[in-house]
Amino acid sequence: MSKLVLKNVSRRYGTFKAVADFSLELAKGEFVSLLGPSGCGKTTTLRMIAGFAPPSTGTIEMDGQQISSPSGVVPPERRRMSMIFQSYAIWPNMTVGENVGFGLQVRKMSRAEIDRRVDAILDVVQMRNLKGRYPAELSGGQQQRVALARAIVVEPEVLLLDEPLSNLDANLREEMRFEIRRLHDEFKITTVYVTHDQSEAMVTSDRIVVMNKGRIEQVDAPHVLYGRPRSRFVAGFIGRTNFLEGTRNGSDVRFDGFTAPAVAVEGANGPGELLYSLRPQAVGLTTRKPGGPGLAVEAEITGRAYLGEYWDYQVRPLGGAKPIRVSTAPTSIFEVGSHAWLEINPAAIVRVE
Amino acid sequence: MAVTGTVAVEASAAVVSRAGRWDTTWLLWIAVIAVLLVLVVSPFVYLVLTSFQAERTGDFTLSNYATAYGRARYIDALFNSLKLGVGVAALAGLFAIPLAWAVARTDMPGRGFTRMLVLATFITPPYTGAVAWILLAAPNAGWLNRFYMFVTGAEAGPFNIYSFTGLVVVIALYSFPYIFIFTTAALELVSSEMEDAANILGAGTWRTMRRVTLPLALPAIMGGLIICFLEAIALFASPAMIAIPARFNVVTTQLYQFFGNPVRVEVAAAYAMPLLGVTVLLILVQRLITARKGFATLTGKGGERRPIRLGPWRWVVFGYAMLVASLSVFLPYIFLVQSSLARAWGRGFSLDNITLRNFDFVLFEHTTAAQSVINSFIYASASATAAVLITLGIAYIVTRRLVPFAEVLGFLCVAPFVIPGVVLAIGFYAAYAPPPLSLYGTALILILAFTTRFLPIGYVNASAALRSLNPEMEEAVRVLGGSRLMALRRVVAPLLKRSLLGAWLLIFIPATRELSSAIFLYGPNTKVASVMIFDMSEEGNFEYLSALALILQVLILPLLWFGQRALGRDFMLRRTAT
């Protein structure tokens, strides 16, 4: 049975539709991210799951029981969930130990039991030695760990995270992503994670829900989302991509400067000009004509940028007008103006809407 | 994207409202409404109603208005108030603006000292200042006149406090801190980079100040001038001590006379309308000016602020600051102390004129003086506590949108700001003096009136404090299984302790010296210190009076010290304090 089920949930503020027709099922122990630009409705969705807002239409169920509907909402304090807030919401008037122990205290556990569990979870997040400190004496990353410990120690049915890393600096953010995933692997708590950062979502999640303007664009595992984006929005939002216009011409699809067999290109069956996505990483760049199974297209280097981890080349097929962006290893160097060969795997060209 | 972003922010605020709807908040809503009805709405409604009611019968009539505006001298009093307000605002601006600029933006020596002296001015009640200036500038006997006669050998001195000019000076000297507070607050937000930009284009210090700095602060200065104007026309104490002996009236003293024997509250209510109207209008104007976008308030983040180097001019500016301080603090307090320790203040500083009898008398012998000080402190602490609790509750309801139309509650809390103390007192008299309540002269009516009078200070502070508190702090409690009440008790209350203490002090301190509403509502057993001082001034007992006024000041000092320790040196001189 699914742990958490959202059925046709929507949320309106006046005439503005913050979330529209949102349906999703989470398996027990699954880690799902809601990913999208700010204002796309992901935080609103999370707050509906938490019980801070009722849905305008639709229902939310946990373990088969309805917890939210337009006519009534189980209040947040009775949902047995926990949440990590964007601001962490660590209470500055309580020590680390008191913060973490709060939820257990509410659950009327004995003092000794609370102590034992608090110490255990503080060990997990490596904060045991700071138990007596006040939050103002902690760094951002340490506060984040306290928030994690406080949320996990109560063994919630569902863990909700609202952009938990957005206030950290870049290095710490990277570290904490793995920390969150590690904790998930250890405790197997069903988790909904809201973020606007695609790499955060990709590192942590089993599945990613890409949202745009209150609607779901696509729900898939990270690698599928990247390799097989289904809409222009997803292709553009997750990573970088080339948008190519292609027209069906008999058994071929004709692109700007090259053609590909239609059978090899996914979704190339409609008439007229259609839009396709081709990831810069899916294209090879060689000095000699490649002998592999892919398409070989002779091209001219029109621009380049060195980004340390890779080269970002702009390469124009000789018969075409617009350059294609290609990422290569930092060791493969081509001069601007020189000729080279593109190696394109037609299966990497994906039709998008 | 920016558009959808703001929608999302408003949306998340509305989220809480729906979720909170099923708590027991309706009960709370009703309780709060009831409190505000008693404190704000009904005195105001009664004020207006009473002005249209015939005495005794209560029939509808316009005759109160006919009486109130039927004599030339009543009309004169209205115009005197206007002239007074303009004069005070102009003179106070002259005192305050250079000082504010020097303190906020320059390297004038003694900036902290100057701030301290402005604070000392601010906590001097207007009636204490007026008394001190009677000692200084009474015709012939005043110390300034005597000094002049001593130096020049003239027959008479040039100063006469009992004149229109005298009144303007005295009020301006004790209301200029309002303009000072507004102006420093604005100037402290003007970044040095803006001035640098003018400098690099070739403008010198003075030109930059004239063309860039002052225009940026102008809305705030205008706001301060308006507040000062309103303060002057609503003031009762100084006009009563100075204008009445000088044989002219202003609105507030005229109202006092309508309240004399027999009490003609209907006429007083009718006569209070212009004062109320002007105040409402000007507060609206003031809000419009200071709310204008693109001005100083927007530059909060604008980098560092370096003091402007004045060179040798800084001593000139310092001299000016000390001159103003001499007029408002040094001279008045020197002669208040002298008078409080004198057998007869006119006999001067000779040793055989020194005595502690005055203190002994007001503290232990006078039948009501000591009790009046105790009353002041009891009523002030009761009303400060009530105002803080009420406004905290309402500010919480408003910021978390627990009930629909919560903004109305917030509006009612700040509404008393536009009601001058005397007018408020007339409203309270009209509403609660007649049977069945018959509260006239009771401690309760004074406490209620003080509470109402200071609701705006409480509300502004409470809602600022709550807005600085991220709602996620409370949501974190709820998501972990705690109720809203638990969130309030375990998180909100402990976190707001400090700000609430600040609000309490900001109400308590002025409430201990409140005169303009007390003078219409006190009874024989509920005399407060301010009324006592006013009575003594009418009897001409300046020695006792000085002793009592100084006692009142000294009693405030520990609170002030405590407030500065807990809340920062300038806690009285912030915008939220006024």
Q: Which tens digit of pLDDT belongs to each residue from B409-453?
A: 888 888 888 888 899 999 999 899 888 888 888 999 999 999 999
Q: How many CB pairs under 8 A join A and B?
A: 104
Task: Please count the other Cβ atoms lying within 10 Å of the Cβ belonging to residue A180.
Answer: 23
- Same domain flag for A219 and A246: no
| Contact (CB<8Å) A103/B480 | yes
Higher pLDDT, B528 or B366: B528
**A77 and A169, same domain (yes or no):** yes
Binned at pLDDT 50, 70 and 90, residue B575 comes out as low
B428 vs B272: CA distance, rounded Å: 13
pLDDT one-digit tens code per residue, A45-85: 999 999 988 999 999 999 999 999 998 889 888 899 999 99
Name which of B1, B10, B14 is nearest A38 (Cβ-Cβ): B1
Q: Do B472 and A86 touch (CB under 8 A)?
A: yes
Same structural domain, A195 and A230: yes
Q: Taking Cα atoms as reference points, which of B417, B441, B419, B418 lies closest to residue B429?
A: B441
Whether A230 and A308 share a structural domain: no
Q: Do domains B1-41+356-578 and B77-335 have the same CATH topology?
A: yes
> Residue with structure tokens 């004045």?
B310
Give the sheet arrangement for strand A207-212, strand by strand.
A81-84, A158-162, A190-195, A31-35, A207-212, A215-220
Collapsing DSSP to helix, strand or coil, B26 comes out as: helix
Check CB contact under 8 Å for A52 and B475. yes
Q: How far apart are CA A211 and CA A48, in angstroms?
A: 15
Query: B19 vs A106: CB contact, 8 Å cut-off?
Result: no
What local confidence, expressed as pLDDT, does residue B292 receive?
A: 58
Q: Compute the distance between CA of residue A184 and CA of residue A182 in angstroms, rounded to an integer.
A: 5
Cα B124 from Cα A10, distance rounded (Å): 60
DSSP B96-120: HHHHHHHHHHB--TTHHHHHHHHHH
The two structure tokens encoding residue B390:
């009420």
* pLDDT mean over B325-352: 88
Rg, chain A, Cα only: 25
Give the Å distances, CA to CA, from B97 to A84, B10, B112, B321.
49, 39, 16, 11
B348 pLDDT more than 80: no
Are the C-beta atoms of A339 and A299 separated by less than 8 Å? yes
pLDDT value for A71: 86
Specify whether A325 is located in the same domain as A286: yes
- Provide the ipTM: 0.80
Q: Name the residue of chain A whose CA is nearest to B487's CA.
A: A91
Q: For A137-176, how does the pLDDT look when each residue is reduced to its tens digit (9 = 90+)? A: 998 889 999 999 999 999 999 999 999 888 888 888 888 8
Confidence band, pLDDT 50/70/90 cuts, at residue B493: confident
The answer, yes or no, to whether residue A339 has pLDDT greater than 70, is yes
Host H or E run for residue B2: helix B2-20
**Does one domain contain both A25 and A168?**
yes
A85–B472: do the CB atoms touch at under 8 Å? Answer: yes
Q: Give the gap in angstroms from C-alpha B516 to the nearest C-alpha of chain A.
A: 41
Q: Measured between CB atoms, which of A18, A51, A83 is closest to B8?
A: A18
* Residue B82: Cβ-neighbour burial (10 angstroms; 0-12, 13-18, 19+): middle
Question: What does A165-232 look like in DSSP terms, one character per residue?
Answer: TTTS-HHHHHHHHHHHHHHHHHH--EEEEEES-HHHHHHH-SEEEEEETTEEEEEE-HHHHHHS--SH
Model confidence over B51-68: pLDDT tens digits? 998 877 778 888 889 888
Shared domain for A157 and A272, answered yes or no, is: no
Q: With bands split at pLDDT 50, 70 and 90, how would you rate the model's confidence at A5?
A: very high
Average of pLDDT values for B363-381? 91
Sorted by where each begins, the domain ranges of chain B are 1-41+356-578, 77-335
Domain end (from A191, A206, A234): A234
Q: Can you give the pLDDT at residue B9?
A: 34
Packed helices B421-432 and B42-51: angle between N→C axes, nearest 10 degrees: 80
A101 and A180 together in one domain: yes
Rg (CA), chain B: 25
User: In A, which residues are within 8 Å of B476 by CB distance?
Assistant: 83, 85, 89, 91, 150
- Choice among A71-80, A266-275, B241-250 with the minimum mean pLDDT: A266-275
Which amino acid would we find at residue B549?
A
> Which one of B12, B19, B481 has the shortest CB-CB distance to A103?
B481
* pLDDT at residue number B441: 87
Given A234, A266, A292, which residue is the final one in a domain? Answer: A234
N-term to C-term CA, chain A: 33
CA-based nearest residue to B381, from B460, B454, B489: B454
Q: Tell me the angle at which helices B164-187 and B126-137 cross, rounded to the nearest 10 degrees.
A: 130
What residues of B are in the A interface, CB distance below 8 Å? 1, 4-5, 7-8, 10-12, 14-16, 18-19, 22, 470, 472-473, 475-483, 486, 490-491, 494-495
Retrieve residue B228's tokens. 């000062």
- Is B20's pLDDT higher than 50? no
* DSSP H/E element including A261: strand A258-261
* Residue B25 pLDDT class (50, 70, 90 cuts): low
Query: Which residues does chain B have within 8 Å of residue A121's beta carbon, measured at their own beta carbons?
Result: none
The rounded percent of chain B whose pLDDT value lies above 90 is 39
Looking at the structure, do residues A228 and A296 belong to the same domain, yes or no?
A: no
Which residues on B lie below 8 Å from A67 (Cβ)?
Answer: none
pLDDT-based confidence at residue B304 (cuts at 50, 70, 90): low
Q: Write the CB contacts of B547 (distance below 8 Å, at least 6 apart in sequence).
A: B340, B358, B359, B361, B362
pLDDT, tens digit, for every residue of B396-411? 888 888 777 788 888 8
Give the residue, B353 or B297, on which the prediction is more confident.
B353
Section B194-221 average pLDDT = 79
Mean pLDDT within B16-38: 66
> Residue B480: which of A18, A75, A154 has the nearest Cβ?
A154
Range of the domain at A250: 240-352
**Residue from the list A13, A47, A106 with its beta carbon closest to the beta carbon of B480:** A106
Among residues A209, A234, A259, the one where a domain terminates is A234
3-state SS assignment for residue A327: strand
Residue B24: the pLDDT is 58
Q: Which residues sit opposite A159 in a β-bridge?
A: A82, A191
Q: How far does the CA of residue A63 sit from the closest CA of chain B (Å)?
A: 18
Sign of the Cα pseudo-torsion (A148, A154, A158, A162, in order): negative
Mean pLDDT in chain B? 85
Please name the residue that has the structure tokens 């200070």: B457
Residue in B with minimal Cα distance to A77: B481
Instruction: Out of B7, B19, B480, name the one closest to residue A53 (CB).
Output: B19
For B93-146, how does the pLDDT look when each residue is reduced to its tens digit (9 = 90+)? 999 999 999 998 889 999 999 999 999 999 999 999 999 999 999 888 889 998
Q: Could you report the per-residue pLDDT of B144-171, keeping only the tens digit for each?
A: 998 888 889 888 888 999 999 999 999 9
Q: Two tokens at A77?
A: 């304090």
* Residues of chain A contacting B16 with CB distance shorter than 8 Å: 52
CA distance A159 to A64: 17
Residues A227 and A268 in one domain: no
B311: left (phi over 0), alpha (psi -120 to 50) or beta: left
Distance (Å, rounded) from C-alpha B247 to C-alpha B234?
19
A57 phi and psi angles, rounded to 5 deg: -140, 165
Find the range with the poorest average confidence among A298-302, B77-81, B136-140.
B136-140
> What is the reported pLDDT for B54?
86
Lookup result for tokens 């909100």: B492
- Look at B10 and A43 and tell me if their CB atoms are within 8 Å: no
Domain B77-335, CATH? 1.10.3720.10
B165 SS3 class: helix
Relative to beta strand A65-69, strand A72-73 is antiparallel
Question: What are the phi and psi torsion angles at A65 (to 5°)?
Answer: -105, 135
pLDDT of residue B3 exceeding 50, the answer is no
For chain B, the straight-line distance linking the first and the last C-alpha, in angstroms and rounded, comes to: 39
Q: Is B295 left (phi over 0), alpha (psi -120 to 50) or beta?
A: beta
**Mind listing the pLDDT tens digit for each residue in A91-138?**
999 999 999 999 999 999 999 999 999 999 999 888 999 999 999 999
Interface mutation vs chain B, best among A85, A159, A213, most B CBs within 10 Å: A85
Q: What is the pLDDT of residue B141?
A: 84
Residue B23: the pLDDT is 53
Q: Residue B15: which residues within 8 A CB-CB, separation 6 or more?
A: A44, A47, A52, A53
0.90 surpassed by pTM? no
Q: Which amino acid is at B153?
A: G
Q: Could you tell me if A152 and A274 lie in one domain?
A: no
Chain B residues inside the 8 Å CB shell of A85: 470, 472, 475-476
pLDDT at B553: 92
**Confidence (pLDDT) at B289:** 79
The single-letter DSSP state of residue B480 is T
**Judging by beta carbons within 10 Å of its beta carbon (0-12, 13-18, 19+), is residue B449 exposed, middle or buried?**
buried
Rounded distance between C-alpha atoms, residue B566 and residue B552, angstroms: 22
Distance CA B306, CA B104 (A): 10
A167 and A146, same structural domain? yes
pLDDT tens for each residue of A226-264: 989 999 999 989 888 999 999 988 888 899 989 888 888
A167-190 pLDDT per residue, tens = 888 888 888 899 899 999 999 999
Count: domains in chain A: 2
What CATH number is given for B1-41+356-578 in this structure? 1.10.3720.10
Tokens at residue A150, please?
Answer: 């406080």
